[in-house]
Structure 1
């Protein structure tokens, strides 16, 4: 299987050994950065020099505490140009035409920075590809002046794109056809650092992969409650450079739009926002946040005091659950913040992930071998979000009663579309779809995920009690 994977995916494969991960654990790198570094330093047998990697990380991947004093001192006081590998976001001021940038990892905001015209001309093609980019940024300092009067600013000297290769989505789709669905499931697990042979059966494997659905489908809103130690935070916080894992405290400004700083929030700059340990999560204004979330989760609209925009990040709730209520016929969400007890809010969640179907992590489940480069894989999933052809296929082949609830129909079809992208990316039209496999791997799981949401609504409100979602079928099955 590994030989077949390497033959077909070639440069997109990297050797990962998480059973011997103490070295990388000490570096605190997310998977996509770890695999990028491994790809840079590994030989064809997967061997690398630990000291060489450690030196690179120390030089180019500083921690926030290194930035606050050490790196700022080098740039501002010593007039040194410094290169770091990080996420960068560009801001173009309409009134002044001044171009600035934002480094989220270090809280370096646009009013402290500048991209001068000549540098912008050199870097604009790379920096204007999206709202945010990963790459090696070279920083310098423009000191304050009296005539004309202008403040000192950190300036961008150069930018080198993070991705060292061209990601060919069509090639990825074509290669999927070379593998069975069972082989493909194992490949996907390896891409997110799991060892497929460590699971007892395929339902366990598929339960883990359900967590990837918001990676491939826009504005897919899910809720997961699971026992501790099943890897929720790891998948949502480490695998993709396009996602955001938040915990502790959340404000409307941070999530949607900061009026004071004129900065777009997380929903604009992420494929998904996962609220970790949701039972402990605090919101700045529960009522205000509830109203904003409901509107956003319904249609992607962000409307705040004169600001209006559209975003497509999914909202994910992650929490722990005691064993005695691991049952969707019981109230499972009682410990969640009160804003999520409202049935109208619950309706905006497309599906529920039963995290207790995912086994607790152990060493046998950690990859030790060749797998898809996580950095490459998360980029593929990000690109699949823009492909509307899969939804067109789902609309064509899925049938349900005409008077079905609109939100139920949308939820099931949206989740089924995400499964189709994830497990069968090679299908190009409805005739390519194996109806039996689609029912087993896409439509039936989507139906069950939505059904759990409906059951929770029925427990909270008599209006929903006994109202089940309709039966969904596949044309030609």
Structure 2
């Protein structure tokens, strides 16, 4: 057990569970995570290994006896008949039979219908009338000679959820954890190993929780397949409902005019639309219109009195192209169905979560540590919906007055949601508020910048905030920094038109025309663009900062031209210790070898710190770099800084360049894939970055040589 796991168990005993236990008990039971964790929370909410093993067997036994597999429905029906009563775990929904003036339940897996339900049960659990709810239910069988009377009777029912949550206790216990510890606890709670994610990647995962803590919040996430976009809405909370984007109607989502019954938005905290993207998909125009009205005004009407609701919307879908292609040829919303690729709909989205920054989910990303029982956390998040934390930024920062009311509301809702999730006790510092404010503004800016591409009536907006001392700080998106040559362009041609031209043999001319237009727009664009340091014949002094999760950078782009002509290079980095960090050192050496003519000689010397946990392994790996350089014209030597005082991270050449890096060579996020192949293993440009800065300083060569 890690120190964090021990701390979690100490402060939240009874409300946490070891996350790998879900897989241990699930077997072939097709049930949501929150159902399994509810049961594990009853029997395995402890750190005692013996008790955990006993609890696992108990939960397995409960699932074995009471969870209904569709293939065994007949056997369970027979058991109920023979015993007269039996407890089952199943998904249950209820409807009103107007002909008999009675409520009737349907058991999904058990396959029985017209199960008699009393009015009191329906009043206590109204969600049963809207959609299926996972429950532990006692089902009774009483045969009647009257064919009109169903023999099935629902005696008792208990939705899968924690009975009581003490929010004040939760808030007070938050203070026992540092911010990093709390974020890691939340990451483990949603099932992920914190070590597999950088700081920004963790915040993007937690951004998915905002619809659960903010009323009427509209989030979209588009990105590659397999990044876990829908998991948080299907498995995480009993208060969220995941539906396919094409399988919803106005009566089901909003209100049924025939009986006046409100739809999903009236009963669920979050309604998520899975597989929402797809240009070939179609949507009912009336549905789109009523959705736009609801997203803007929190109310809807179908010819009768307006009705209000608090459900948040989350739209998740897959993109067809990578980011630079979309920015050059269309926009970041290109994958949406045409009815939703509409400026009025898009403008109502509070945040765009960049799904291309989320790594494909793999087995080694899942945690074996402790996290909140998801149902417990879901109840906490639901309680937080009634609070507003957006004013917590006011003592420190002021959002630009040039930003519209709609943009401002979107920013503050996102900020409020992040503060609720990470700082429910109000313990945030100025620096922490700034970090979340920047993310909130960036998430809305991504929406607004794409609107300017889609609809020329939308002006570009200068997203910035002002500190208490009057300092103005501009906010950019990661893709804006990574692809400044495309980000602010208006699309030249419709993608379909491009395909037609390509088919007709005019693709080469089209590419020439587009390239010329790109160049002209890049030159004429008035707004200053952030630039990435590129290889140039004339390296210059300067300071550059890079955002976390961007790609497209390599050691050659950062250092190549600055090392030209050097005969001695000294790298000082106290943290060349772990395997991937030593691999970084090897790749630096490879870069120098590629740039060194075979007739020249270059020496590279590394000064680093010892890995006290595995120093012999570190020595062997560093020596292997020295051996690998034999016969190349580049020699590699290394030494430990035995004084322990070398904290600098820089590269110094005998040609008079000093390159200062706050992270040394450790600028790439650590790889977590243990087998198979990824482009990032072979090409640095395909690795995600950590946030870092680099400063280039020129001085007299004799100083470097000394």
* TM-score normalised by structure 1 residue count: 0.82
Distance 1:322 1:97 in 2: 51
Unaligned runs of 5+ in 1: none
The alpha-carbon deviation at position 47 of structure 1 amounts to 2.2
Match of 2:312 in 1: 314
The alignment status of 1:29 with 2:27, answered yes or no, reads: no
Instruction: Give 1 or 2: higher helix fraction.
Output: 1
Aligned counterparts, 1:162-181, within 5 A: 162-163=160-161, 165-181=163-179
- 2:299 is matched with which residue: 295, 298, 301? 301
RMSD (CA atoms): 3.8
Distance 1:328 1:458, change over 3 A: farther
Aligned counterparts, 1:205-244, within 5 A: 205-244=202-241
| CA radius of gyration, larger in | 2
The alignment status of 1:468 with 2:474, answered yes or no, reads: no
Distance 1:368 1:304 in 2: 49
The alpha-carbon deviation at position 64 of structure 1 amounts to 5.5
The answer to whether the 8 A contact 1:2-1:370 is kept is yes
Aligned counterparts, 1:342-357, within 5 A: 342-357=342-357
- 1:435 is matched with which residue: 430, 448, 451? 430
Secondary structure at the counterpart of residue 369 of structure 2: strand
The alignment status of 1:6 with 2:5, answered yes or no, reads: no
The alpha-carbon deviation at position 89 of structure 1 amounts to 6.9
The alpha-carbon deviation at position 406 of structure 1 amounts to 1.8
The answer to whether the 8 A contact 1:283-1:289 is kept is no
The alignment status of 1:40 with 2:35, answered yes or no, reads: no
Distance 1:392 1:90 in 2: 42
Match of 1:335 in 2: 335
The answer to whether the 8 A contact 2:275-2:318 is kept is yes
The answer to whether the 8 A contact 2:43-2:56 is kept is no
Cα offsets for 1:244-270 (capped at 9, x unmatched): 122252222222234457643222222
Distance 2:110 2:278 in 1: 24
- 1:277 is matched with which residue: 275, 278, 281? 275
Stretch deviating more after TM superposition (281-290 or 230-239) = 281-290
Distance 1:301 1:160 in 2: 31
Stretch deviating more after TM superposition (154-163 or 292-301) = 154-163
The answer to whether the 8 A contact 1:221-1:316 is kept is yes
Distance 1:25 1:349, change over 3 A: farther
The alignment status of 1:85 with 2:96, answered yes or no, reads: no
Distance 1:25 1:158 in 2: 27
The alpha-carbon deviation at position 115 of structure 1 amounts to 3.8
Distance 1:476 1:70, change over 3 A: farther
The alignment status of 1:424 with 2:423, answered yes or no, reads: yes
Match of 1:449 in 2: 443
Aligned counterparts, 1:133-172, within 5 A: 135-140=135-140, 151-152=149-150, 154-160=152-158, 162-163=160-161, 165-172=163-170
Secondary structure at the counterpart of residue 241 of structure 1: coil
Match of 2:626 in 1: none
Distance 1:41 1:433 in 2: 35
Distance 1:81 1:261, change over 3 A: farther
Secondary structure at the counterpart of residue 207 of structure 1: helix
The answer to whether the 8 A contact 2:43-2:59 is kept is yes
Distance 1:58 1:261 in 2: 40
Secondary structure at the counterpart of residue 277 of structure 2: helix
Q: Which has the higher contact order (CA 8 A, sep 6+)?
A: 1
Distance 1:70 1:399, change over 3 A: farther
Cα offsets for 1:119-160 (capped at 9, x unmatched): x3xx689647998876422233577787xx975475431234
Secondary structure at the counterpart of residue 14 of structure 2: helix
Distance 1:470 1:309 in 2: 34
Cα offsets for 1:97-123 (capped at 9, x unmatched): 9774656856999x9454447xx3xx6
Match of 2:59 in 1: 53
The alpha-carbon deviation at position 210 of structure 1 amounts to 1.4
The answer to whether the 8 A contact 1:281-1:337 is kept is yes
Cα offsets for 1:338-369 (capped at 9, x unmatched): 12111001011111000121222222210112
Cα offsets for 1:226-249 (capped at 9, x unmatched): 222211122221111111122252
Distance 1:211 1:327, change over 3 A: farther
The answer to whether the 8 A contact 1:12-1:372 is kept is yes
Distance 1:167 1:311 in 2: 24
Cα offsets for 1:410-435 (capped at 9, x unmatched): 111111110010110112xxxx5422
Distance 1:184 1:98, change over 3 A: farther
Distance 1:240 1:435 in 2: 31
Distance 1:36 1:266, change over 3 A: same
Cα offsets for 1:68-109 (capped at 9, x unmatched): x6656766x77933323356677899x999774656856999
Distance 1:49 1:373, change over 3 A: closer
Distance 1:231 1:456 in 2: 24
Secondary structure at the counterpart of residue 278 of structure 1: coil
* TM-score normalised by structure 2 residue count: 0.57
Distance 1:114 1:308, change over 3 A: farther
Distance 1:128 1:246 in 2: 19
Distance 1:351 1:226 in 2: 14
Unaligned runs of 5+ in 2: 471-706
Distance 2:108 2:303 in 1: 27
Match of 1:367 in 2: 367
The answer to whether the 8 A contact 1:451-1:469 is kept is no
Secondary structure at the counterpart of residue 184 of structure 1: helix
Distance 1:64 1:415 in 2: 42
Secondary structure at the counterpart of residue 289 of structure 2: helix
